[in-house]
Structure 1
Amino acid sequence: MNSASRPDHHTENGFENRYPLPEGKRSFFRFLRRRLFGNETWPKAKHQTGKTPITPPDLDAIHTPDPEIAQVTWIGHATVLLQYQGINILTDPVFSDRASPFKNFGPKRYSPPGLTIDQLPKIDMILLSHNHYDHCDLESLRQIGDDPTYIVPLKNAALLKEAGIESCLEMDWDQYAEVNGVKIVHTPSYHWSSRKISDRKEMLWGGYALTFANGFKFYFVGDSGWNEKLFTELGEQYGPFDLGLIPIGAYEPRDFMKAAHVNPEEAVLIKQVMGVKQAIAIHWGTFVLTSEPVDEPPARLHSAMEQAGEDPNHFIALPIGGTHHHIHPPQEG
């Protein structure tokens, strides 16, 4: 593809965010130096057990769902099971103890998965947002296997082949596909990708907007910082949505994380500009990735919804293992 015909987010060195904002100096080594020697007090995973609400999963509902009611079960972090119209969809499956390339080093899970892989129903589709270790865990994918259709951003199929996954559908931003009768568009997010020090932005990242046969619309943001121009444009192009997964955690220290992760107040802005009627909070309560207290995000989310003049019940933080049931279209009375 020559430079005259390629999309703006395709560059000679990989991919770039749409409408990039000044990000300052950000690198793994700068992050590690700040983590180890900075002034912030970071939570320790071993001290966080019990700070994220956990409930036993409703296995009967999960294995015999009502096909007319959309249900989402929060397994942990960005791993969510969406079930609707007989289709089972899993987002960013991470079931391992660490979000890391190393077995004994890196962010350690302090909240167990709400479901084990063996407890999952037959998965039809997996949505992968990007290749960071807290979203793309090859060992989990190996265990899940090659039966589901994997929907991945551009250049990620080669990575999944390392886990023996061959049935990948790679998508570019704003590209459409149809799988199991569900229309899918790969949406931009404001983020980046990397599995090692030298491959930053070589693989694409993003979210997904799904439309089911009856018009029900579902949005998975993926990982993202707040970019008003980007999300306003996406909302006009693809919204509104009946149900959505929006990240709320891993946002401090703010000057460093702002370009990568939204805070709860910005998560509410995403809900508003994307027209998400019912949002489920993700990307919190599972791994210590940043310096905010691990139980702070849902409390700030509740306050942010009230301050925005919205009903806090329309953007909820489920307990791990908890299931939300969503009727479409909403019943009156």
Structure 2
Amino acid sequence: MNSSSPPPHHTDNGFENRYPLPEGKKSFFRFLRRRFFGKESWPKAKHQTGKTPVTPPDLDAIHSPNPEIAQITWIGHASTLVQYQGINILTDPVFSDRASPFKNFGPKRYSPPGLTIDQLPKIDMVLLSHNHYDHCDLESLRQIGNEPTYIVPLKNASLLKEAGIESCLEMDWDQYAEVNGIKIIHTPSHHWSSRKMSDRKEMLWGGYALTFANGFKFYFVGDSGWHERLFTEMGAKYGPFDLGLIPIGAYEPRDFMKAAHVNPEEAVLIKQTMQVKQAIAIHWGTFVLTSEPVDEPPVRLHSAMVQAGENPADFLALPVGGTHQHHHIPDQKTERQPA
């Protein structure tokens, strides 16, 4: 391909998935019709309180972490605090009551954030996967402020400027950067983007592969449907990983959600294909986005791990506010260099 030609996922109509699948007619209006008039019985947020386990955060560990132990705290949904080697990283920080452009309409939080913004340590880096409201909350970003470096997919910096965020590094898929001594690669996912009805796929989406100075490797999937070819290629190119954040929720009705969100069984396939040694479940237990029971994803995840012949402890669904500590044992093999 001519070096001046845009990559195939750059199109005249915005961005496209690396291996597009037929999506059918899935407009926002069709979604609303399915949501309110379909045959599925959707959970109501006001009845879900207490169905997601919650634990008080270990603030001592969070504010005085052992730099030699990788530490993940689940704040809720796709929001986590990742701490390792003195670096504090937030993923998709959403602290607001609703994942919506409206104050009184849209998915309402039924599990409180595991940490408040005031309880956060000094944040060095924010990883933003895409611009959907349950992943990109401008009010939360305003409160976090400009001190961290924000790593965002292409075309998302203009959105963050609305929150007064100037310190953005935009990345394309498979692009390499180095921040705070950490090697970062923006990885594709099988998803889409929009903030309103007229901007579908105008801003890029994806995940991130991080490699620390001692070879520790961390993977944040972001939001994705399962695509065997995509993840097989990425696993061969960028794996294995010591620790990963993999979505497990928001998957029903399956015919409508399959192209955008993995179910727990497909989440296990991502873990295996991307060669993630220890996975933490995200994208569940916080907002009612889809029709499955809110407490179903971790139950199905446990069963899927057993069926796959894997130890369920290697793919944990933490309580909101819970912290997992991972002891990294350096691999004696030569570290794979970014492509």
Q: TM-score, normalised by structure 1?
A: 0.98
How many percent of aligned residue pairs carry the same amino acid?
A: 88
CA shift, 1:27, in A, is: 1.1
Equivalence for 1:263: 263
Equivalence for 2:69: 69
2:224 maps to 1:224: yes
Distance 1:93 1:153 in 2: 15
Deviations 1:230-262 (A, max 9, x none): 000000000000000000000000000000000
1:17-36 alignment runs, 5 A limit: 17-36=17-36
CA shift, 1:21, in A, is: 1.5
Give the secondary structure class of the aligned counterpart of 1:218: strand
2:283 maps to 1:283: yes
Equivalence for 1:114: 114
Distance 1:81 1:17 in 2: 28
| 2:216–2:330 Cα contact (<8 Å) kept | no
Equivalence for 2:336: none
Deviations 1:121-160 (A, max 9, x none): 0000000000000000000000000000000000000000
Distance 1:29 1:234 in 2: 34
Equivalence for 2:83: 83
CA shift, 1:4, in A, is: 6.8
Equivalence for 2:57: 57
For residue 295 of structure 1, what is the amino acid of its counterpart? Answer: D
2:96 maps to 1:96: yes
For residue 225 of structure 1, what is the amino acid of its counterpart? Answer: G
CA shift, 1:25, in A, is: 1.6
Equivalence for 2:181: 181
Deviations 1:143-184 (A, max 9, x none): 000000000000000000000000000000000000000000
Distance 2:27 2:258 in 1: 14
Give the secondary structure class of the aligned counterpart of 2:287: coil
Distance 1:13 1:50 in 2: 43
For residue 84 of structure 1, what is the amino acid of its counterpart? Answer: Y
Distance 1:303 1:24 in 2: 31
Equivalence for 2:199: 199
2:173 maps to 1:155: no
Equivalence for 2:334: none
Equivalence for 2:170: 170
2:334 maps to 1:322: no
Distance 1:95 1:51 in 2: 19
2:328 maps to 1:308: no
For residue 27 of structure 1, what is the amino acid of its counterpart? Answer: S
CA shift, 1:24, in A, is: 1.8
Q: TM-score, normalised by structure 2?
A: 0.96
Distance 1:148 1:90 in 2: 9
Deviations 1:68-125 (A, max 9, x none): 0000000000000000000000000000000000000000000000000000000000
> CA RMSD for the aligned pairs?
1.2
CA shift, 1:193, in A, is: 0.1
Distance 1:199 1:20 in 2: 18
CA shift, 1:330, in A, is: 7.4
Distance 1:19 1:154, change over 3 A: same
Distance 1:4 1:153 in 2: 20
Deviations 1:19-38 (A, max 9, x none): 11122221111000000100
| 2:214–2:330 Cα contact (<8 Å) kept | no
For residue 304 of structure 1, what is the amino acid of its counterpart? Answer: A
CA shift, 1:263, in A, is: 0.1
| 2:93–2:137 Cα contact (<8 Å) kept | yes
Distance 1:29 1:312 in 2: 39
Instruction: Kindly report structure 1 stretches of 4+ aligned residues shifted beyond 2 Å.
Output: none
CA shift, 1:3, in A, is: 11
Distance 1:3 1:255, change over 3 A: farther
Give the secondary structure class of the aligned counterpart of 1:324: strand
Deviations 1:187-241 (A, max 9, x none): 0000000000000000000000000000000000000000000000000000000
| 2:191–2:260 Cα contact (<8 Å) kept | yes
Give the secondary structure class of the aligned counterpart of 2:152: strand
Give the secondary structure class of the aligned counterpart of 1:320: coil
Distance 1:3 1:328 in 2: 39
Give the secondary structure class of the aligned counterpart of 1:88: strand
For residue 115 of structure 2, what is the amino acid of its counterpart? Answer: L
For residue 313 of structure 1, what is the amino acid of its counterpart? Answer: A
Equivalence for 1:240: 240
